[in-house]
């Protein structure tokens, strides 16, 4: 695995964290990061906890084919409850908040400046079939990066 660099570094005080090669769905990770971008860190943490508890849905805007409607979505209909991906993104968010506290910043004033995903490596796998054949069963991985900045007020 090669070293991954962050997509951007904001000017001023910031905190960042990255989860590398997570075994989650790339589509779910993309939709979660798109939803969280620009939110306050404490509100995003509560939102992810509600997604894990199946109380609030993540709106699916890009990967929305054959996705059912969910109640409670404002301005959008299609959505899901990606629990596994939400748990992984929540861990990355907690790491970014811990890094902010280590740098002396207040966690209540942190805002998600950037949340993005990158494709990780594909883990090769095989599923045996009848007559001595085999079908590929590969596992995709995702790297999630999160950059937090301080809000002035």
CB neighbours of residue 77 within 10 Å? 13
d(CA 59, CA 75) in angstroms, rounded, equals 9
The residues spanned by each domain of the chain are 15-150
- Using alpha carbons, select from 32, 45, 51 the residue that is nearest to residue 116: 32
- Mean pLDDT (whole number) for 98-118: 95
- Mean pLDDT (whole number) for 27-53: 97
Provide the sign of the torsion angle of the four alpha carbons 28, 64, 118, 25, taken in this order: positive
Band of pLDDT at residue 21, cut at 50, 70 and 90: very high
Which is more confident, 113 or 72?
A: 113
- Is the CB of residue 61 less than 8 Å from the CB of residue 76? yes
Band of pLDDT at residue 4, cut at 50, 70 and 90: confident
pTM: 0.92
- Mean of all residue pLDDT scores within the chain: 95
CATH of the domain spanning 15-150: 3.90.470.10
Q: Give CA torsion, residues 61, 64, 69, 74, to 10 deg.
A: 0
**pLDDT at 1 (0 to 100):** 62
d(CA 60, CA 58) in angstroms, rounded, equals 6
Q: Give CA torsion, residues 61, 63, 65, 68, to 10 deg.
A: -60
């Amino acid at each position: 695995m090669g070293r991954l660099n962050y997509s951007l570094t904001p000017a001023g005080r910031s905190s960042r964290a990255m989860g590398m090669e997570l075994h989650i769905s790339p589509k779910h990770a993309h939709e979660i990061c798109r939803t969280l971008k620009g939110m306050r860190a404490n509100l995003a943490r509560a939102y992810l906890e509600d997604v894990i508890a199946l109380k609030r849905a993540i709106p699916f805007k890009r990967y929305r084919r054959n996705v059912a409607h969910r109640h409670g979505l404002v301005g959008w209909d299609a959505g899901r409850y990606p629990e596994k991906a939400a748990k992984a993104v929540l861990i990355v968010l907690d790491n970014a908040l811990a890094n902010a506290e280590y740098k002396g910043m207040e966690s209540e004033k942190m805002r998600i400046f950037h949340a993005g995903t990158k494709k990780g490596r594909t883990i090769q796998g095989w599923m045996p079939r009848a007559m001595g054949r085999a079908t590929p069963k590969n596992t995709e991985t995702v790297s999630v990066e999160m950059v937090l900045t301080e809000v002035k007020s």
